[in-house]
Structure 1
């Protein structure tokens, strides 16, 4: 008879696409001897698969366990080479206290300050988190970090947690959803004293996605008292959100005021140079070999969500191993072509024009004008090149759109840009980055 862990994976097979199942989920092994009712341990053959499953499917796996057992466990994805008898994240007493620990409160041990790539877009938040880890409860309490999905908020938050965990401190990491589920369960079981003890007696409380407190009055009341109890004892609180406190609708003013009473730090989408460094770091951690040209290409095609890097590296590495070939730029383009084609299916010349104009700080009307200003000519050539590359428009159609004499002028522009791309790697990367920004832009 299949173990409960195997049954859950079989159930998951019916809810995801076949490629993801074969490439990732099928590679997992359920560790029945180490798993418990509130902890499901799976082992993956390498770090890439472990990280991908942890990011994409851990919550879904936990939900399927809950359907089958009425208990929602923490799902831990470990690497097979790790000793089954002593999984570090499980054996640490500050994290594995009892069955009352919030679901999903295990920290990811790979989330450290050393593994976090710092750039202009995240430097302020990084320094703030580092200072908090050195003087918890003393500086910046609470620390409120906000930014878009996949920019590193959780990484920084858990980096502080891992530092304090190594010092023997009690750390609780949870999302608003988990906090709410835990509150509801204890309320219905009339065990609120245990709930309060758990959340109000830790040294560090990490709360992810605080924006989901919106319009939940009862849980806002409970979180307000939990917040005050911790801060009155000089215990550190770190909160993440997709927006700053004042822009979270449906949130009580007293909570907004408390969230703003410490330090509010934002993380912006990474610039190209930071993306490149992130990819290099991910390659180092996951032992994936990519040359500079492939790294630069990947940096230009990923969106602002840097979590996408894990999936791309996993896909390139899997295809490379299956086919027994090195990952060259041609190989990478071929493997990722469907992914790029899907992004580009709804691109129009107007969208390209708007994106180029915004990025180069030039009005769309100027690009379509007869101006010979060097900056405008530069923008016009790029817009023409991208329009020809990313849309089905013919050269005569583009000549008409851009007010040019005939298609030979478009042809000349194409050759000029191609020559520049061939001889200037920085320019080529700029074109590819703009191409990706066009692909992910949403028409207004």
Structure 2
């Protein structure tokens, strides 16, 4: 196979993907093919993989395209204050960077801890926390559904499942956002989350309870407290922000697309369809770092060197014209998207189910409690966060008829 000449790399930072990522991915694919040379903050080189088949190849071959970040050839040039360190990981003993048999044992431990979450209790937590959040805004007749609802619901439910005190939720939201956005406060956010999870593990080690953390600590596979802390950081980050953006992006779609108008008056099938369409067309997790080539190889006509980092372009692959020949919106339960990853490092199925219950329950509560909800601004004015990793709204201002609150705080 001949190697395609490498054009000038694209800077994958700033507002590049903020306004119209679909257009950007089309142009990148047109100009560079399925594997795009990019530069991260500080002119750090990497490859962005946009091809569906190429992404399937990477995620299906964990030996050639490893999750072991120690393989990266650029570490000597990475400063200690690089803002993307929380997203890349260096010698972190978390499940994200564990490979082989040990990774499979670790994934089994996490899956078992999450599978034991009672579905009815999960939904009850999500519904009651959602009601409490709506209680705070329903008398006002106007709200920002991102700041006032979507950004608060997932972390409150996860905190209850994991054993975190409810009052620690707001600071954790701020820390998670700072860490994931990969900007100047990323390392501070990571530090806060680490401190919080370390305290939680120590508390549950001393006094176990019926929660996810206690079940992780009770596992007999021999994982230390530091490993558990790192895994909790991953689970909290992966469980909160993408779920918050899933809620926000789905509500945006339902409020701006006439196909989903019926759901605003009590329909339920449209909620599931809107949520699934978001996973195809507007997925919260746009790009993921990463995989590292364990030896020289070729991918999509590119010469990939040992130690190169490859970024998983999940949204780019979802919209690959070679598999989306009609470019239609894929609703109706088609789950062949990459929004939860693929292969042995994909998001565990119980975690996917928890995220879906939180998101769907939250949307149902919004539509039940605020039945005449409407956008307070034009759809064109809605803005996204300037992140190449996660795609979510900065705000979703709405208006509705004021109604009285249902009750007091959820205890």
Q: Same fold (TM over 0.5)?
A: no
| TM interval, short-chain normalised | under 0.3
Higher relative contact order (CA 8 A, sep 6+): 2
* Higher relative helix content: 1
Could you say which structure has the larger radius of gyration? 1
